[in-house]
Amino acid sequence: MSKLSHILSPLKIKSMELPNRVVMPPMGTNLGNADGTVSAENIAYLKRRAKGQPGLIITEITGVHPDGIVSPNQLAAYDDRFIPGLRQMAEVAHEAGCMIALQIHHSGRESLYMLGKGKAVAPSAIPSIVFRATPREMTIAEIKEVVAAFGSAARRAREAGFDAVEIHCAHGYLLTQFLSALSNQRTDEYGGTTLKERSRFVLEVIEEIRRQVGPDYPISIRISAEEFIKGGYSVDDMQTILPDMVKAGADIIHASFGTHGSPGGITQAPAEYVPGFNAWLARKVKDVVDVPVIAVGRFTDPSCADEVIARGDADLVAFGRQFLSDPDFLIKAKAGRPEDIRLCIACNQGCIEREMLGEGNIRCSINPETGQESIYPEGPAAKSKNIWVVGAGPAGLTAAAEASRLGHKVTLFEKNNILGGQIRYAQVPPHKEIYGEWIDWQIGQVRKSKVEIKNDTEVTESLLREGKPDYVILATGGQKVIPPVAGIDQPFVCDAWQILDGRVAPKENVVIIGGALIGMETADFLSEKGVKVTVVEMLKRSPVLKITSHGYMLHKRLREKNCDMLFGAEVKAIGDGSVDVDLAGEKKTIAPVDQVIIAAGMKPTDKLKGVLSNLEIPFTIVGDAHKCRRILEATEEGARAAWALG
């Protein structure tokens, strides 16, 4: 507790009294109703986060204008009909002792939905960096209309019982578009060659909100303190207008960074960025204003955040994805149980990529409760059953932990001596150590539960007959795919798993067969050691998407290490010191080659399926044993299998 004295201290900002300096910042959930109203799922999600006792919760983006939303189910505040649902959100936070601010937002050109309808507007008719489509330039009348809309939305927030309002002026949305020379090339009073000249729209929004909410109501503004994009503004530029924002009525500066078009997905920083990496920007903001500043940047550890506040770099700290992976992290820290905190691994699979790729609403790869709060069973189960979980990778460990939590008698079987499954290999490449830390945490939680763990034990028909489980959850994972290539049985051919676990030493000139995540990360691992790597992938484009934060960083590192990437290529034969490849219909010989590494992927292993069917033992297949995919699918399927036990 003494080590957290700064972050746990109260803070009064006008009419709002915060019990501590921990902020849950805005994160999109995709949980809203189809008409933009608050859903039961929104309330359940918010209630679970509020239970973790942050000082301030800032809601996800809430639309101020019907033409400025990113999807029909984005929460909205552009009409009084939205007030009842918003009031429910405020009440849930207050019941838990938290303060809550409504973040109000206009997408401008950064809305595929509005671009598709031909209704997207922006300062200038310049294409979106993200979506490559062109918006319509706003007229002066439309600018005034949106300014008024921000003010009215803020007034509704106050009427709904919110303690503050936050203006979204970050990440490339409309207000940032007016600030940036990359998107604002107007020649009227809302344009200009300097950031100070282009700030007029933003200042008018702040002033209008202040006019409608009154003098004592706190106004926060979330800014991209620096654009982090070629030709964009710097934090030194931003310092010239921050005092003007405060003078216009801003009481809090929420110092975020980057835009959705910034390279590397920096706004959703992957594990390559250390926790708290962005605190220096908050310090630069504090240098020119006297209002509280919120620091942002992959914070996971309350002790780290406490140090930031102690140094005077910021007054509050935002823990975004950490509230998804473990909403109780602050409670655990205060209780002196930091080892029980489920630290965010910054994989972005459930919180960013799921929504970006159109896969559905919010999830967390390592916390299956997130986004499923309304169906998450508190337990205990009506009847305790004898449950066997076969396989101790992410799916099996999650299934065992959840089934035990619900009161079932659980036995976890693993045929190998070490628990963790494929994560034991995934943790080896650069910047992936945190995956190993998570799986060790998950194993630790299972060991603390009443689960009986049996290592070095392969489940057989005779074992099943003898043990007579009530139900079996098959999480046996996948097996390596070996492509039918001539010469693949030569002694200098191995697989990626043998390289990553150190059983086989890497050579100087390597060809990797397979350019999906296993192949790419193995190439990353070898390139760090100075190995000359050529990756051969049959698909014409990389299966590792560059639009994801980790994918971008992975491709970038491999380019910098001069790794050759051959897409649309098929290995035809492995010779003595060479590899023959069919590249777009033409033969290409790669030489010299000292080593060939197979990374052609995985296929499910479910050989117990027939045995269980014959024995009439009910079962569910989860994770890679069902279909080889990400951690996200493995943990969710493992959890749902446990929840369905009744």
Rounded distance, CA 242 to CA 248, Å?
10
Query: Rg of the chain's alpha carbons, rounded to an integer?
Result: 27
Rounded distance, CA 161 to CA 86, Å?
8
Q: Which two tokens stand for residue 582?
A: 């069919």
Rounded distance, CA 334 to CA 557, Å?
39
**DSSP helix, strand, coil percent of the chain (3-state; round to 5):** 35, 20, 45
3-state DSSP assignment of residue 402: helix
Rounded distance, CA 286 to CA 316, Å?
12
Residues whose CB is less than 8 angstroms from the CB of residue 378 and which lie 6 or more positions away in sequence, other chains included: none
Q: Beta partners for 57?
A: 24, 100
The three-state DSSP-derived secondary structure of 78-106 is CCHHHHHHHHHHHHHHHHCCCEEEEEEEC
Q: CA 32, 38, 40, 41 torsion: positive or negative?
A: positive
Question: Is the bond preceding 380 in cis, omega lying within 30 degrees of 0?
Answer: yes
Q: Which two tokens stand for residue 23?
A: 């902020």
User: Is position 113 annotated as part of the catalytic site?
Assistant: no
Rounded distance, CA 366 to CA 375, Å?
17
Of 477, 475, 482, nearest to 496 by C-alpha is 482
Rounded distance, CA 592 to CA 630, Å?
34
> Are the C-beta atoms of 43 and 76 separated by less than 8 Å?
no
Rounded distance, CA 4 to CA 337, Å?
13
Extended beta strands in 268-374, E state: 293-295, 316-318
Q: Which two tokens stand for residue 405?
A: 């939590």
Q: For the beta carbon of residue 380, count every other beta carbon within 10 angstroms.
A: 11
Rounded distance, CA 133 to CA 116, Å?
9
Instruction: Indicate the pairing of strand 579-583 with strand 11-13.
Output: unpaired
Q: Which of 45, 78, 113, 173 is catalytic?
A: 173
Active site residues: 173
